[in-house]
Amino acid sequence: MNPQSSHLAPPSTMLHSLEKLWNKLEIRVLVISSLSLQILLLGLAGFRKHAISSRWAETTARTWQGPLFLMFHWLLWLAYLLADYVATVALAYLPHGEINKENPQSDQTQHLLMFWAPFFLLHLGGQDTITALSVEDNELWARHLLTLLSQVALAGYNYFSANLHVGALWPPAALMFVVACFKYGERIYSLQRASMSALRSSMITKPDPGPNYAKFMQEYTSSNRAGLSAVIKVEVEKHESVLESRQIKSPQSKPTKSSEIREEVDKLEDDLESQQTKESVQSKPTESEETKGEVNNQEGGVKSQQTKKFKRMICKPRSSEGRLRSKEYADTVYKAYKFFPTFKRLFVDLILSYKDREDSQKYFEDLKFEQAYKLIEIELSWMYDILHSKASLIFAYKHYGWLSRMFTLVITSVALVLFAISDHSVYGHFEIILTYVLLGGAVGLEIIAFAYMLLSFWTYAVIRDSKKDSRRDFREESGYYKCSVEDFLFRVQEMIRPMEKSRWSDKMAQYSLITYSLEDQPSQLKPIMKDLGLQYIWDPLYATYIAVMKFFGLKETWDHYRYATYVTVSDALKRQAFQELIKKMKSIEDRASYKRITEHRGQWALQRMGYYQEFGWSVDAEFDESILLWHIATDLLFHEENCTTEDRLISQHISNYMLFLLIVRPFMMPAGIGQIRFGDTCAEARNFLQSEGSIKKCDAVKKILGVSTEYDPGLVKGDRSKSVLFNGCRLAHQLKKEFTDDDKQNREEYKKVNWDRMWRLIRAVWVEMLCYAASKCRGQYHAKQLSKGGELLTVVWFLMAHLGMGEQYRIEEGHARAKLIVAK
């Protein structure tokens, strides 16, 4: 017999020992895991507003930023799914946990373990910053209600089975049980209120039967029967006209083209740009104003240097420019609060009235584009809070938020104190530490929840709205502001979330048809395999790989991950889009034009600039076909000409973004066969470009542009294939010819002006296409994207609604006031 064999335990004995160890530690591991998941959810929940769930966050920052954001999204998804599962398993396991029978403290330790039951129920209540991972989770509120009833019953069983109601732990256990039920109830109520059916029901106004027609006609008939001469005079409730002072007329339906129109458009564009430059210069503070601000900073003593520094930091901006920006920011937040109850109805496809349009238009007409976008961002951020957090409950009632948070914080703190003064000698040391961790964690999470509520812009807006004088400025005396409560809160909030910081991802996706066609197959490996004589192996292997990806529905996801890149939405793009929408708003002459203006998807821009006759065919096609045509033409011209105009870059960004929506987010676009056209076009591009093997994009552009398109490609190829590759090339040729073929083309200065005008036209067409797509997307799909960093399409859609454009405005006038005039 080997003497060393006696020291080795049989495998069955080792497994039994490991099983006993796991049974003893399992509940402790679940406790730590459950609390850690709650902390993780609290820390990552707000991250979804600002980060995109994609591989790359910037085309210039692929090394770390994109993968980091993607990791955060996956981590949040995993934490959300595991949080409820871990808490539920722990509650079910508590009565069956095994304790070492040889330990005299075993019974008391089991007693303490049962005290943990309310904490798992508390964790099921979740955090204030996240109740639902997606919009669809809100529809499962009834399932969570059933879970609440079953888990409360289970926690109550654990409570009484361990005789906690008669031991020293019953006061803190009872308090935590009350808080846990309260928090879980809040979560279910928030889910129910955020469901689409409940949201719609809560926003439907009181039924309006209108004037009493039957009674009026009865009086009219009675008067006629009595032989009296009765006349009905009707006065319709009119809305104030905001259109009379508008000077830019709507383009005629008949296409026009003339040099006078083009020169007038160029002059208007130049005047607008010079006016914006002048306004930006005037908005800057003068040297005397800055000096005056510094002098005011030195006036007015305070009792201590620390108080003086704090007051200067919180209650007073450092310059007149900062004071003005702070006031504008505060006014923007408050105005967003006033507009939000009206425009959140768009997310559930409810209608708006002419009065809603008037109020919003009057405010936005003279607004700077930065303020306009900031207001839209704040409203969309609040809509995210309504759908995915407890904001719909916390801020729904006037005093509920701070009262409920103070209640749960005080009760949890009292429970911690009661446990601290109780006798711990009968419990295990490790279990005592874990209990303190649970109680301390609960108190810490409540403090953070209270701070989240206090430092939210919701709180500032609610307090300011409750004041009688909601229009008051930040008050100033002796160089220092008399900070009211809301002023103080806003200054702290402004330090945390400055106006320059975007409240959504501020990114737009980029997808290129030519790039996709060139890289859809690993062209680097294919020539190598061909040289080795292994192409007969490579082709079926790659085909099998594609087939497997498509079978499991992963091909589109992989393509998005591999080919989609993201760029920051530039201020230039925002400004141009805002200006185009303002022009459209001011061109409206009657009610019918409100609806007609949203149906334009490039026609209005071409007509206004005098090029409809030349390029109208490209925008009168089906919308998905128009997107592909202009995307191909824009991509070809972008890589051929290196002019420095900002319209060139804006056009490229919107072009790639619209293609991304068409392929990756088709549910946000009007119905069509865009994906079929894209597939056929890519197939033709691959056949044409890869016949010679590997090729760079710049060479591909030259090769495509080298094809003559004098004859319509559609007539040559027929209608079976939906490819529009050379139709787009034809559009590029026409654009290039229209703006560069001239007697003066040898002059570089004239050539540059023409290229600038061409990109100005392309940009205007793309902005109009973007607005058209935004207006045709349903509100529920816009809502769905808020938890994924947001979409530029959603921002434009919401901005259009505030400017009075869209299909949501169905009430064009008020009640008719009918008077019955009876002649004596």
Give yes or no for residue 588 having a pLDDT over 60. Answer: yes
Element (H, E) at 441: helix 429-454
Enumerate the β-bridge partners of residue 822.
230
Distance of CA 297 to the CA centre of its chain: 40
Amino acid sitting at position 39: I
* DSSP 8-state class, residue 541: H
Higher pLDDT, 806 or 284: 806
* DSSP 8-state class, residue 498: -
460 vs 438: CA distance, rounded Å: 32
* DSSP 8-state class, residue 555: H
Which residues 6+ apart lie within 8 Å of 355 measured at CB? Answer: 239, 814
221 vs 167: CA distance, rounded Å: 83
Question: What are the tens digits of pLDDT across the range 592-610?
Answer: 777 778 889 999 999 999 9
Give yes or no for residue 792 having a pLDDT over 70. Answer: yes
Residue 445 corresponds to which tokens in the numbers above? 């999470």
Of 418-427, 503-512, 569-578, 739-748, least confident by mean pLDDT is: 739-748
Nearest Cα neighbor of 637 from 648, 621, 629 is: 648
Band (pLDDT 50/70/90 cuts) for residue 741 is low
Instruction: Summarize the confidence of residues 804-818 as an average pLDDT.
Output: 68
Band (pLDDT 50/70/90 cuts) for residue 60 is very low
Give yes or no for residue 1 having a pLDDT over 50. Answer: no
Of 390-394, 431-435, 748-752, least confident by mean pLDDT is: 748-752
Residue 541 corresponds to which tokens in the numbers above? 């292997």
**Mean per-residue pLDDT over the chain, rounded:** 79
Give yes or no for residue 641 having a pLDDT over 50. Answer: yes
Element (H, E) at 755: helix 748-776
Question: What are the tens digits of pLDDT across the range 445-480?
Answer: 999 999 999 889 999 998 888 875 444 444 444 344
Nearest Cα neighbor of 638 from 506, 544, 510 is: 510
Higher pLDDT, 261 or 194: 194
445 vs 408: CA distance, rounded Å: 10
Are 760 and 262 in contact, with CB atoms under 8 Å apart?
no
CA dihedral 765, 768, 770, 774 (to 10 degrees): -160
> What Cα–Cα distance (Å) separates residue 333 from each residue in 408, 492, 787?
29, 14, 21
744 vs 806: CA distance, rounded Å: 44
Question: What are the tens digits of pLDDT across the range 346-389?
Answer: 999 888 888 888 899 999 988 899 999 999 999 999 999 999 99
Task: For tokens 């209990």, name the residue.
Answer: 435
Within 10 Å of residue 71's Cβ, how many Cβ atoms?
Answer: 10
Nearest Cα neighbor of 603 from 573, 632, 623, 579 is: 623
Are 587 and 377 in contact, with CB atoms under 8 Å apart?
no
Are 377 and 807 in contact, with CB atoms under 8 Å apart?
no
HSE of 4, CA atoms in CB hemisphere, 13 A: 0
79 vs 135: CA distance, rounded Å: 17
Inter-helix orientation angle 65-93/117-124, to 10°: 140
Domain extents for the chain?
19-194+402-452, 509-571+605-777
HSE of 616, CA atoms in CB hemisphere, 13 A: 15
Band (pLDDT 50/70/90 cuts) for residue 63 is very low
Instruction: Return the SS3 of 822.
Output: strand
Q: What angle do CA 291, 294, 298 make, to 5 degrees?
A: 140
Nearest Cα neighbor of 416 from 179, 630, 63 is: 179
Give yes or no for residue 53 having a pLDDT over 70. Answer: no
Pairing verdict, β 816-823 and 565-568: unpaired
Q: What percent of the chain has pLDDT over 90?
A: 39
Instruction: Return the SS3 of 113.
Output: helix
Higher pLDDT, 217 or 692: 217
Question: What are the tens digits of pLDDT across the range 272-321?
Answer: 555 544 444 344 444 333 333 433 444 444 344 544 444 444 455 445 56
Give yes or no for residue 166 having a pLDDT over 90. Answer: no
Are 352 and 342 in contact, with CB atoms under 8 Å apart?
yes
Residue 793 corresponds to which tokens in the numbers above? 């399409």
Positive/negative CA dihedral, 376, 382, 384, 386: negative
Q: What is the pLDDT at residue 279?
A: 45
Amino acid sitting at position 384: Y
Residue 766 corresponds to which tokens in the numbers above? 């793309």
Amino acid sitting at position 5: S
C-beta contacts of 352-357 below 8 A and 24+ residues apart: 352/801, 352/808, 352/809, 352/810, 352/811, 353/809, 353/810, 353/811, 354/239, 354/809, 354/811, 354/812, 354/813, 354/814, 355/239, 355/814, 356/809, 357/804, 357/809
148 vs 183: CA distance, rounded Å: 11
φ, ψ of residue 630 to 5 degrees: the values are: -75, -30
Band (pLDDT 50/70/90 cuts) for residue 236 is low
Residue 326 corresponds to which tokens in the numbers above? 């702070």
Amino acid sitting at position 199: L
Q: What is the pLDDT at residue 159?
A: 72
DSSP class per residue in 613-648:
HHHHHHHSS-HHHHHHHHHHHHHHHHHH-----HHH
Instruction: Return the SS3 of 670.
Output: coil
